[in-house]
Amino acid sequence: MAETMDVLVTNIGQLLTMASSGPKAGKEMQTLEVIEGAVLGIKDGKVAFTGTADEAAGLTASETIDCGGKLVTPGLVDPHTHAVFGGSREHEMALKQQGVPYLDILKQGGGILSTVEATRAASEEELVRKSSFYLDRMLSLGTTTAEVKSGYGLDVNTELKQLYVTKKLQDKHPVDLVSTFLGAHAIPKSHKDNSDVFLEEMSGMLQQVKDEKLAEFVDIFTETGVFTVEQSEKYLRKAKEYGFGLKIHADEIDPLGGTEMAAGLGAVSADHLVGSTDEGIRKMAESRTVAVLLPGTTFYLGKHTYARARKMIEEGVIVSLATDFNPGSSPTENLQLIMTIAALQLKMSPEEIWNAVTVNAAHAIGRTEQAGQLKEGRNADIVIWDAANYKYIPYHYGVNHVNTVLKNGKVVYQ
């Protein structure tokens, strides 16, 4: 073969191509596509070749990156974040230590509502600067594609401001962003006793969000003291009519039946699922709805009952993992840390975890054809790790194992 590439990534100890036919459900998640002693070729920002060193004989390129036997994987995909927000909430740490529950803090006007005040007060430019900083950090930790939700405005203007911030970041930041409209994230103080009127207001934004292409997905927080299953279903059906994909914060704290609703509505993902019932899990397995598990949130809320990942995998659910990066329940951009928590608390195997943060995560945000896999035609979003094998990353915890990150074939972090 005598073909010229733009870049050849050589001397790869272990290459995780994740080159399956698509997302993996249940036990399929135990399989991993690995090439030992591999070479990867990049052309026009896309993956153009993967194979062994022997198969690569004859390939040439103007630039070569010698990996010195390191592990190489697709860029990580984080399918659930709230990375655009004003302020921070370190003052809640003491309340947590005193045992004040998350939903009580919210009920008292703190929690999400305190971030709403800070986000309303921040200018668009401030938010762009603040979120760019977080995205830089995500990139340095190996995340090359992430979903970002609005939901700290809870009024038309501030929700739009958040969505415009995400749009600006989509244009200027190397991390690929997928935008979700989460206007239904909490009930604002102004509508304390009238959540139906508030949902009408948020529904009223759907047309503009669609017309201006400000989001691909619509999400809602279905939870005790926030929105009921009935309210959520009505709202999401409307969003579906507009052509949005659906996502749901379901059964995070109390098992209200959001899991069943998500599967029934054909949502692209149902997220959290800590309290999902057997029936809910069965319905998820029958659907193509991805279970996006957020064990960092359970950890940070100081809870001891985690989502039942083992049961979900046994039943055949497509399972993914995300940081849930937000200023309240999960202030971390670090998906590597989530991989460790998934290993220890969700009892997921390294193979399941790698599928969960690449190919399945891409599917959870409608990026199956672009991200999460290193096969011909996919974005050359690549992480070179300071590790010799994939099992090492969840094992050695709390530090950053990234050596180099390439986005669309270009080095963006080293």
174 alpha carbon, distance to own chain's centre: 16
Question: Which listed range, 15-23, 164-172, 205-213, 319-327, lies at the site for ligand NIG (CB under 6 A)?
Answer: 319-327
Residue nearest to ligand NIG (CB): 328
198 alpha carbon, distance to own chain's centre: 27
Which residue number, 113 or 339, has a Cβ lying nearer to ligand NIG? 113
Written as six digits, the tokens of 329 are 């329940």
Question: Which listed range, 109-117, 118-126, 344-352, 405-413, lies at the site for ligand NIG (CB under 6 A)?
Answer: 109-117
Please select the residue that binds ligand NIG; options are 150, 269, 289, 329, rule is CB under 6 A: 329
For 98, residues 6+ apart whose C-beta sits below 8 A from its C-beta are: none
Residue 350 interacting with ligand NIG (CB under 6 A): no
Residue nearest to Fe ion (CB): 324
Using CB under 6 A as the criterion, what x/- string covers residues 230-249 for binding ligand NIG? -------------------x
Which residue number, 226 or 406, has a Cβ lying nearer to ligand NIG? 226
Which residue number, 201 or 252, has a Cβ lying nearer to ligand NIG? 252
152 is in an annotated binding site: yes
> Which residues make up the interface to Fe ion (CB under 5 A)?
324
306 is in an annotated binding site: no
Question: Which listed range, 38-46, 107-115, 164-172, 368-376, lies at the site for ligand NIG (CB under 6 A)?
Answer: 107-115
Using CB under 6 A as the criterion, what x/- string covers residues 174-193 for binding ligand NIG? --------------------
252 is in an annotated binding site: yes
Q: How many CB atoms lie within 10 A of CB 194?
A: 11
401 is in an annotated binding site: no
CB of 283 to ligand NIG, least distance (A): 21
Please select the residue that binds ligand NIG; options are 142, 327, 331, 394, rule is CB under 6 A: 327
185 is in an annotated binding site: yes
Residue 379 to residue 48: CA distance in whole angstroms: 10
Q: Which of ligand NIG, Fe ion, none sits in contact with 115, Cβ below 5 to 8 A by type?
A: ligand NIG
Which residue number, 42 or 273, has a Cβ lying nearer to ligand NIG? 273
Residue 360 interacting with ligand NIG (CB under 6 A): no
Residue 111 interacting with ligand NIG (CB under 6 A): yes
Q: Which of 217, 238, 231, 315 is nearest to 273 (CA)?
A: 315
Residue 221 interacting with ligand NIG (CB under 6 A): yes
Q: Interface residues with ligand NIG (CB under 6 A)?
A: 82, 111-112, 115, 221, 249, 252, 297, 324, 326-329
Q: List the binding residues.
A: 80, 82, 89, 152, 185, 249, 252, 324, 326, 328-329
